[in-house]
Amino acid sequence: MWDYSEKVREHFFNPRNAGLLDGANGIGDVGSIKCGDALRLMLKVDPDSEKIVDASFQTFGCGSAIASSSALTEIIKGMTLDEALKVSNQDIADYLDGLPPEKMHCSVMGREALQAAVANYRGEVWKDDHEEGALICKCFAIDAVLIEEVVRANSLTTVEQVAHFTKAGGGCASCHEGIEEILAKVSKEACTAPTAATKPLPPATPAAAPKLTNFQRIRKIEETVEAIRPMLQRDHGDIEIVEIDGKNIYVNLKGACVGCMMEAATLNGIQTKLVEALGEFVRLLPAAMLGKAA
């Protein structure tokens, strides 16, 4: 059972201004496709003063959708249209002494209905630009669409950054797996560096190739890495070869590649290219491993 405030219950059990409104001259019909809730807001506006003299609603929705609609009509009655347009979804939620995070979209729907009704009165067409995604962070009511937008816009790479930018994940922390999945998805799309297949299995016995001299071999490694560098640089990263010791090749990842969630995948991808080019098995290791790897 939802933890609804007394005020929400009261507005649900005894909704104000429910039903059709005679003489309505501004009507807003909106719905949330995800949730399936829908709301028709009817306004009677005095043309001289642009004051809302009466308002009513019809709602297809849950308890908090009905309560939010009821609260909205109470808030805006007597306001001018311009004053009413300043009412935010948070104002509706506050009027009801708060809504559970999963239910905040009910108040958003109320605000959208208001914008639509005012547009209808003014002979304008209202367009909805708000997309709603699956709820990720329940503590702060942040959905997947918003997180993904912010991650993309700011090139975020860690859960901590997401929490700083959106608050998502900053509470109980149980949604961190969901946030990591979004980060991985965006990072995978953005990264043009070669990445290995999900389970990279280097060939146990590489196809026999003509034996290279040491000099030829080093040049081949260099050429292969040089060919990959522009891809990394496009993502504001880079790579440099530090040392070649038998089958171990030590490199430094630089710039945006450092600490990128795809770092391991990037190394794996480059390693696969090197194995192909050289026709022998090599390992690509971070320079930090120099002297430590067998």
Distance, CA of 120 to CA of 30 (rounded, Å):
12
Distance, CA of 268 to CA of 191 (rounded, Å):
14
Nearer to other proteins, 141 or 249 (CB): 141
List binders of other proteins among 190-209 (CB under 8 A).
198-199
Considering the rule CB under 8 A, would residue 142 count as an interface residue with other proteins? no
Nearer to other proteins, 28 or 237 (CB): 28
Distance, CA of 248 to CA of 285 (rounded, Å):
7
Distance, CA of 269 to CA of 61 (rounded, Å):
50
Nearer to other proteins, 64 or 266 (CB): 64
How many residues sit close enough to other proteins to count as binding (CB under 8 A)?
A: 45
Specify whether 62 is catalytic.
no
Residue 109 and residue 39 in contact, taking contact as beta carbons nearer than 8 Å: yes
Place of tokens 């005012």: 118
Which amino acid, 82?
D
With H, G, I as helix, E, B as strand and everything else as coil, classify residue 274: helix
Of the candidates 235, 158, 98, 112, the one whose C-alpha atom is nearest the C-alpha of residue 166 is 158
DSSP type of residue 210: P
To other proteins, the closest distance from the beta carbon of 171 in angstroms equals 16
Quick one: which of 39, 71, 225, 270 contacts other proteins (CB under 8 A)? Answer: 39
Neighbours of 140 (CB within 10 A): 16
Considering the rule CB under 8 A, would residue 237 count as an interface residue with other proteins? no
Q: Which of 62, 106, 139, 260 is the catalytic position?
A: 106
Distance, CA of 204 to CA of 210 (rounded, Å):
18
List binders of other proteins among 66-105 (CB under 8 A).
66, 102-103, 105
To other proteins, the closest distance from the beta carbon of 69 in angstroms equals 8
With H, G, I as helix, E, B as strand and everything else as coil, classify residue 27: strand
Considering the rule CB under 8 A, would residue 221 count as an interface residue with other proteins? no
To other proteins, the closest distance from the beta carbon of 31 in angstroms equals 4
List binders of other proteins among 40-69 (CB under 8 A).
40, 58-66
Which amino acid, 105?
H
Considering the rule CB under 8 A, would residue 111 count as an interface residue with other proteins? no
Specify whether 137 is catalytic.
no
Quick one: which of 14, 19, 53, 83 contacts other proteins (CB under 8 A)? Answer: 19
The residue ranges that bind other proteins (CB under 8 A) are 1, 12-13, 15, 18-20, 29-40, 58-66, 102-103, 105, 109, 112, 116, 126-128, 130-132, 134-135, 138, 198-199
